[in-house]
Structure 1
Amino acid sequence: MDTTGMRKPGLSAEVTQTYASVPFIKEDDGQTYNHTTSYPTQSGRVASPFRWWTLEMLSCLGAVACMAAIVAILIVYDGRPQDSWPINNFSINSMVALLATFCRTFFMVGVGAAICQGRWHQFSSRHDDSSFTLDDFGLFEHASKNPFASLWLIWRFKGRNTACIGAALSVFALAFGPFSQQMITVRLDTVEQASSGSTGAVSRVSLVNSVIGFSNSWSPISSTKLAIYNGFMAPEIDIPSTVCPTGNCTWPIVPTVGVCGACVDTTPDIKFNRSSGSYCSVTAGKLEVKGQCGFSDFGTVFKIGAGSGKVFSLEDVPLEADAPNVIAEFGAIGVPASLTPEATLNKSLAAECAVWYCLQAREVNVEMGVLSDRVAEKWHKANRTTGANDPTSNVTFTDIPASFNADSKDTYGLGYMQMYGMESYFKTIVQGNVSADGTVGTKSSSTDYAEGLHNGFDDISSWMERLTRSMTNEARTSGNVTTTRNNRSSQDKSERYSGTALSNQAMFYVRWTWIIYPAAVVLISVLYLVLEIVRTASMHDVRPWKDDPLMPLYLDLDEQLKQQVYQGLTEGGSAASRVSHHPLQVVRWHDGLPVGLTVRRH
């Protein structure tokens, strides 16, 4: 045995190496030679583990950095428009996929090295009592590069070697890319338009002043008369249009003065009085129709006139008949227009109705180009500004709820002579009758208003809705928006009730659950590498040789193994197949480090 002092690469200080002589027999030209091969053993302080594992640790840092970059991108662009991505020809999904590829490449550097290091742990002195084969020796290196070999390694060692963790990571890494592709997607969301003033104003009125006249002769203006006429006669009433450039818009609650109404069915109150033969009278409340009840003949079959006030007993009519904002109450009795002229008064129906001014909270929106303008709430409480019994006085709505979105400084009500003119006009139109001739099969009406109510008498609630909508539309489009007492500009008001244009925009949407798997794989791979570093540092007979190609060359084979390898190389076939089945054990020198492999002999 001879010793030589020298400085070795990778050592932090000069150490003393001792060379041991181990005889091996080699055959050459039929002669047997005894050779003495020297194996150095080392005593002293070895290099820091950080120098052994520098590449792997840097790779793990790279994997963590790539995963952090992915998370940062997801956080920054989650919920942002698709066009906010700055690179036109390289999508955000492509960037995530690229980072995921780098991340997988980086952490697999450490995982692969740790799997190879597991080979040397398996062949350390702790396992000298157990044998292994040459297949086991090569399985670790294959597993570091091949997921299928990783599965075989897991099956071979049944989890008894920490390299099984790395093998499992090698398999799980196959799904790293598909999971990263699912982290972020694009969906259509409804967003507000950035430009202001893109929507039109919703029609509204705070002061209705639609009558004209002098002294005690007042009547509605022509547009109001036309709205009343259309309400009586038209089969359908539209709602005021507004501008919505995107086809999807919303507005806040818009308060406006409008017209409300209700009807009550008084058919159960009908009384028949048969005076003689087929002649009879039909009464309900203050209304009476006289005609034929036994057979059809020419006569009155429908009549409108004053009501008895029964409509104000309804729960959804929270005001009295003498309320200052009541326009009119009226009733109707007779045979509906849906029946043929031959129908007699035996088929009569009866109803009483009322219309009044009210404050409405309008809920307006446009969805997919379809305008919706409905009454969300109604308010009826109002007072005259002068005498309680003065029909010429202004009327103001009081105690308006906050849900109406009405400015507390705004005044909502009816102008001078408005109620007087409307009441007077309705008294002149809610009268008349419809006659029918059962023999000839014809009907005729004395007034258009009687005909209009007669045509809608089968569904009087819908008829009342059309009448109030028509009158409300006219008030909203022709009325006045009052100036507030603090003299704010009209621009301030328009902003209060301005709408918001909405549009469908492609938005990035992060599915955070899909990042759990890749993040867990990266975390476990880092912990696994740390585990292998710590384990290797704690072993006296193992160094971080990993997949160093010189280490297998450094290990010598005993004579029996060499003979079989030689035969495999010279006689054909696989040399590895001749020796792979032999149980092997490690030959060690006195410092514990391996120097060769030999066949275990039992």
Structure 2
Amino acid sequence: MKTGSQPQQERAERASPSTVEAQRNQSSLDITQRLERKLAQLNKSDNVLKRWIYEIVTWTVSASCMAAIIMILLRLNNQEFQSRDTLAIAFTVLSKIASAALLLPVSEAIGQLKWNWFNGQKSKELWDFEIFDKASRGVWGSILLLFRTRGRSLAALGALLTLLLIANDTFFQQVINYSSHSTLAGESFVSRVVQYTPKSALPTRAGLSLTIEDYNIRPLLERFLFGRDSQPMSMGERINPDIPILCPTNNCTFPQYNTLGVCSRCVDVSDLLQFMCRAAPADWVGNLTRNWEYPNRTMCGYFLNATGPAPVMMFGYSLSEEGLPGEALLGRIFPLFTIPDKKAMWGGSIHFKGIQNVIQDAIVATYEGDPANVYRSQTPIAEECIICWCIKTMESTYLLDNYREKVIKTSSSSQAGAVIPWDSYPLNLDGKPGTFTSYAEDIAIRDISDPKVYGMDNLTHINVDAIFWNTFPSFLTAEPSSAPILRYRTYLEGHAYLRQPKTLAWLPPNNLTVYFERMGIAMTNAIRSSDSREMIKGSAHAMQTVVSVQWAWLAFPFALLFLSLAFLVATIIKTTKEAVDGPGVWKTSAMPTLIYSLPNDMQKQYTSTSGSETSLDGAKRLKIRLHPQKGWRVSGQPNSPMVVIRSNQPPPGWI
């Protein structure tokens, strides 16, 4: 017994590792295999609900998501949208789940109808199996199935639903509409000036106030008078304001307001110039030393008051003793008030008589095109331009880092036949001759729609006017084949002030009207940025994004939801009626194709080629029908209309 049992024990010991390994494999069965086994058991159940519980659950998930979407939309409707709104995110997620969850019951129902299609009274073509299988998996098969059944089969509804579910997300996207509008979000402020009173102490000497150039305006006028004009500060497409402004939301509006400003106008006076050659005092010579006497020279060019006792050369050239062209006058700024005694010429103005509060009134003559045209006696550009104090009625906006303002109207004082307020007399201090200049009145401008008085005192006006004494008058001259030279500060005795400018903003191709207009804007911005400013209150706005629900777009998803339910219920009813003699509930499972495989002789026909006929060409003539107990019935072949059970079948466990 003991001896006999030893081999048996040894065999048990040798067999134990494989047994343990099998048990281990069995215990470590993949979760997906367990799930599939469980689903297979449910499919074999006699209970209809158990057989279709998976599809019913997924449809219920889709319906639950749709219900949750309705609740979310009711909360979101007409509410402000936040950049990370969890409700909006939840809506997007739930809409995706709702669409995806409907695909499964539709796909499974189509798969089940495939087996019932081949279990009918008539045999069906082999290609139908391929079409049904593709229809349960995607769009292309659904299109083929619609054409194959001509829409007359229950499966056609499933194919149609598969196609329509593709567009479901598009309709969900249209449900929520985001609209933006501006809402009041605080206050904003923009500067203006009513009375310009710079806070600078005026120097005095011997009890007399001295003229000093206004420190707020002088720096920017230096760019206009000796270089390029001032341009708005910009960065890309943004335009920064040149005045103090407070806009906390980057979107601000202001009520219409008035401010003290500087206005300008220009009028063409070329008709006042006359070309001639004559001998006259040459006050424009570049290296002239100021001694209050000007040398006589023979000059050819355009003169102002050409036939009068005091002609003024505006544009032209001098002639040497040999009669050759010499130094040329390329441009001239000729103020109609002398410096520094402020004596009026031609009544102080030609076209702007009666306008009060004038800062400068001057005739500007320049060349057009090539500077060498001066020797060709070409007519120059000549305009009378005025700069004066005025009231500007403004509209301002600030949006997305861009400041915009528009001048609605301007108001300035004018009085026909008014007395010129300038006065001067000689002055001697410490043995040196000088001139005392005064302005007899304060600047006071009124607008009929505004009770305020806009302006400044007379000393402030003089200090602004004094800035222009550097270049009003000035001369741009050039020797033949030499670079132009600007002579300025001509009211001072001694050697001339000269500079060789790289560019001058009042020369061509610049437009004189635009030049003086931009000068007036820059001066207005300078006083609005001074200590004299006051802030006008406006409104700050913020862009608010509001969610609005367009309920009509939900009709399509809900229609698909209920059509999918109808399709699923119809499929359940159809398969339940055919449960007795039917193929069973296989849905999209591939198991029946393995269990009910074609006979070997049929397999050989469609897995080999002969001549020009491919392995599947014969399937065009092949029709099949599924018998749940006997397998596939093959028809359409003359030598094998029925399945033949041969004696030499493969051993059990083999296909």
- What TM-score results when the alignment is normalised by the length of structure 1? 0.56
User: What is the CA–CA distance in structure 1 between the aligned matches of 2:549 and 2:350, rounded to whole Å?
Assistant: 58
Give runs of aligned pairs for residues 572-583 of structure 1, distance below 5 A: 576=626, 579-581=632-634
The equivalent of 2:89 in structure 1 is 92
- Map of 1:438 onto structure 2: 479
Task: Give 1:260-275 correspondences, 5 Å limit.
Answer: 260-275=263-278
Question: Amino acid of the residue matched to residue 391 of structure 2?
Answer: C
Task: Tell me whether 1:154 sits opposite 2:146 in the alignment.
Answer: yes
Give distance in 1, aligned partners of 2:141 and 2:468: 99
Aligned mate of 1:163, from 147, 155, 166: 155
Alignment-derived partner of residue 236 in structure 1: 229
- Structure 1 residues 224, 177: closer, same or farther in 2, change over 3 A? closer
Alignment of 1:13-28 (within 5 A): none
* Distance (whole Å) between structure 2 residues aligned to residue 554 and residue 363 of structure 1: 81
Counterpart CA distance in 1 for 2:329 and 2:110 is 105
* Conserved? CA contact 2:392–2:409, under 8 Å: yes
1:283 pairs with one of 284, 289, 303: 303
Equivalent residue, structure 1, for 2:442: 392
For 1:456, the equivalent position in structure 2 comes to: 506
Give yes or no for contact 1:293–1:344 (8 Å, CA) kept in 2.
no
Provide the residue aligned with 2:66 in structure 1.
67
Q: Determine if contact 1:248/1:366 at 8 Å carries over to the other structure.
A: yes
Q: Contact 1:336 / 1:348 at 8 angstroms: preserved in 2?
A: yes
Residue number in structure 1 paired with 2:371: 339
Distance change >3 Å, CA 454–CA 332, structure 1 → 2: farther
Q: Report the secondary structure of 2:151's partner residue.
A: coil
Task: Give the Cα separation in 1 of the matches to 2:547 and 2:84.
Answer: 13
Contact 2:103–2:162 (CA under 8 A) maintained in structure 1: no
Q: For the Cα contact (< 8 Å) 1:253–1:364, is it kept in 2?
A: no
Give the deviation of 1:325 after TM superposition: 4.8
C-alpha distance in 2, partners of 1:455/1:143?
78
CA 156–74 in structure 1, closer or farther in 2 if over 3 Å, else same: same
Q: What TM-score do the two structures reach when normalised by structure 2?
A: 0.52
Number of the residue aligned with 2:292: none
Letter matched to residue 442 of structure 2: T
Q: How does 1:296-375 map to 2 (within 5 A)?
A: 296-298=325-327, 302-306=332-336, 321-333=353-365, 339=371, 348-356=380-388, 357-361=390-394, 363=396, 365=398, 373=403, 375=405
Per mean C-alpha deviation after superposition, the further-off stretch among 449-458 and 470-479 is 449-458
Q: Structure 1: state its 5+ residue gaps.
A: 1-48, 125-129, 314-319, 400-407, 483-489, 537-542, 556-565, 584-602
- C-alpha offsets along residues 312-362 of structure 1, whole Å, 9 cap, x if unaligned? 97xxxxxx6424454432213365898379958756432210112231526
Q: Matched residues in 2 for 1:218 and 1:421: separation? A: 10
CA 1:96–1:508 in structure 2 vs 1: closer, same or farther (change >3 Å)?
farther
Alignment match, 2:489 = 447
Amino acid in structure 2 at the alignment position of 1:305: P
Amino acid at match of 1:237: S
Q: Could you tell me which runs of 5 or more consecutive residues in structure 2 were left unpaired when the two chains were aligned.
A: 1-47, 233-241, 280-296, 337-344, 422-440, 492-496, 585-594, 604-624, 637-655
Corresponding letter in the other structure for 1:258: G
Deviation at 1:397, TM superposition (A): 2.6
**CA deviation after TM superposition for structure 1 residue 530, in Å:** 4.4
Q: Percent identity?
A: 13
Q: Is the 8 A contact 2:261 2:524 kept in 1?
A: yes
What do residues 398-419 of structure 1 show as CA deviations (whole Å, max 9, x unaligned)? 33xxxxxxxx7x7362145479
Indicate the residue corresponding to 2:290 in structure 1: none
Q: Relative to 1, partners in 2 of residues 1:568 and 1:464: Cα closer, same or farther, differing over 3 Å?
A: closer
CA contact (8 A) 1:134 1:582 kept: no
What is the rounded CA distance, in whole Å, between the counterparts of 2:348 and 2:150 in structure 1?
90
- Letter aligned with residue 205 of structure 1: V
1:43 matched residue in structure 2:
none
Residue 67 (structure 1) shift:
3.3
User: What CA distance in whole angstroms lies between the structure 2 residues aligned with 1:68 and 1:243?
Assistant: 51
Distance 2:153 2:185 in 1: 65
After superposition, give the CA deviation of every residue in 1:487-542 in whole Å (9 maximum; x if it has no partner).
xxx7xx44x2x65689xx9x8999989x96x9636514514654896x89xxxxxx
For 2:347 and 2:115, the matched residues in 1 are separated by: 101
**Aligned residue for 1:206?**
194
For 2:300 and 2:601, how far apart are their aligned partners in 1? 127
Matched, 1:526 2:562: yes
* Contact preservation (8 Å) 1:116, 1:547: no
Quick one: which amino acid aligns to residue 260 of structure 1? C
Distance 1:145 1:437 in 2: 92
Give 3-state SS (helix, strand or coil) of 1:208's partner. Answer: coil
In the alignment, the residues of structure 2 paired with residue 193 and residue 436 of structure 1 have an alpha-carbon distance, to the nearest angstrom, of 60
Kindly provide the amino acid, as one letter, of the partner of residue 479 in structure 2. G
Q: Secondary structure at the match of 1:350?
A: strand
Partner Cα distance (1:160, 1:554) in 2: 22
Return the letter of the residue paired with 2:302.
V
Q: Size of the alignment, in residue pairs?
A: 471
**Matches of residues 102-251 of structure 1 in structure 2 within 5 Å?**
102-106=98-102, 108-109=104-105, 113=109, 131=122, 133=124, 145-147=136-138, 150-151=142-143, 153-173=145-165, 175=166, 179=170, 201-209=189-197, 222-223=214-215, 226=218, 229-230=221-222, 231-237=224-230, 240=242
Shift of 1:421: 4.2
- Contact 2:185–2:249 under 8 Å retained in 1: no
Aligned partners of 2:522, 2:411: CA distance in 1, in Å?
Answer: 22
Secondary structure, aligned partner of 1:264:
strand
2:529 is equivalent to residue 477 of structure 1: yes
CA distance in 2 between partners of 1:208 and 1:435 (Å): 34
Q: Deviations over 1:7-46 (max 9, x none)?
A: xxxxxxxxxxxxxxxxxxxxxxxxxxxxxxxxxxxxxxxx
Matches of 1:348 and 1:221, distance apart in 2: 32
- The verdict on how the C-alpha distance between 1:548 and 1:79 changes in structure 2, with shifts beyond 3 A counting, is farther
SS in 2 for 1:164: helix
User: How far, CA to CA, are the matches of 2:117 and 2:602 in structure 1?
Assistant: 31
Cα displacement (A) at 1:304: 0.8
- Alignment pair present for 1:380 and 2:410: yes
Distance, in Å, in 1 between the alignment partners of 2:136 and 2:255 is 67
Instruction: Give 1:208 shift.
Output: 2.8
Q: Deviations over 1:456-506 (max 9, x none)?
A: 233323532443233212211125346xxxxxxx7xx44x2x65689xx9x
Q: Tell me how far apart the structure 1 counterparts of residues 568 and 505 of structure 2 sit (CA, whole Å).
A: 92
Alpha-carbon shift at residue 170 of structure 1 (Å): 2.9
Residue 225 of structure 1, CA deviation: 6.0
Assess, with a 3 A threshold, how the Cα gap between structure 1 residues 183 and 150 changes in structure 2: closer, same or farther. Answer: same
Aligned match for 1:101, one of 97, 101, 121: 97
Instruction: For residue 100 of structure 1, report the CA deviation from its aligned partner.
Output: 2.5
Q: 1:549 to 1:96 in 2, by over 3 A?
A: farther
- Residue in 2 that maps onto 1:487: none
Cα distance in structure 1, aligned partners of 2:158 and 2:303: 97
Among 560, 575, 583, the residue aligned to 1:546: 575
Are 1:468 and 2:492 matched, yes or no?
no
Aligned residue for 1:222, secondary structure, equals: coil
Higher mean Cα deviation, 150-159 or 338-347?
Answer: 338-347
CA contact (8 A) 2:106 2:158 kept: no
Distance 1:347 1:278, change over 3 A: farther
- The one-letter amino acid paired with 1:167 is A
In 2, Cα distance between the equivalents of 1:448 and 1:186? 70
Distance (whole Å) between structure 2 residues aligned to residue 473 and residue 170 of structure 1: 68
Q: Indicate how the Cα distance of structure 1 residues 171 and 394 shifts in structure 2: closer, same or farther if over 3 A, else same.
A: closer
Indicate if the aligned counterparts of 2:197 and 2:460 stay in contact, CA closer than 8 A.
Answer: no
